[in-house]
Amino acid sequence: MKAKQKETIKSKSLAELKDMLAKAKEKQFNLLFKHSTTPISNPLEIRVVRREIALLSTLIAQKAQPK
């Protein structure tokens, strides 16, 4: 993920982040399911989605903490 994309994600609200996280988890599930039946054309996409999920989870945790 590029730096610009990370900055735009960081500026989103908590509800938007949770929605993005749900979509990313669904995408990861679909990719893993497809990859288990037949090899997908770009297996590195699984890694990218996993890291996106980690980033979103971290940002949600940070925004959820009271300051």
Mind listing the pLDDT tens digit for each residue in 14-43? 999 999 999 999 999 999 999 999 999 999
DSSP string, 14-33: HHHHHHHHHHHHHHHHHHHH
Residues of the domain holding 45? 13-64
> Does residue 4 sit within a domain?
no
Reported pTM = 0.88
Torsion on CA atoms 2, 24, 28, 56, rounded to nearest 10: 60
| Residue 5 confidence (pLDDT) above 90 | no
Asked if 31 and 49 touch (Cβ cutoff 8 Å), the reply is yes
- When divided into structural domains, the chain yields a total of 1
Q: Is residue 57 part of a domain?
A: yes
**DSSP secondary structure letter of residue 65:** S
Task: Specify whether the CB–CB gap between 31 and 53 falls below 8 A.
Answer: no
Please give the Cα distance from 45 to 20 (Å, whole number): 17
Whether residue 2 is contained in a domain is answered as no
7 inside domain: no
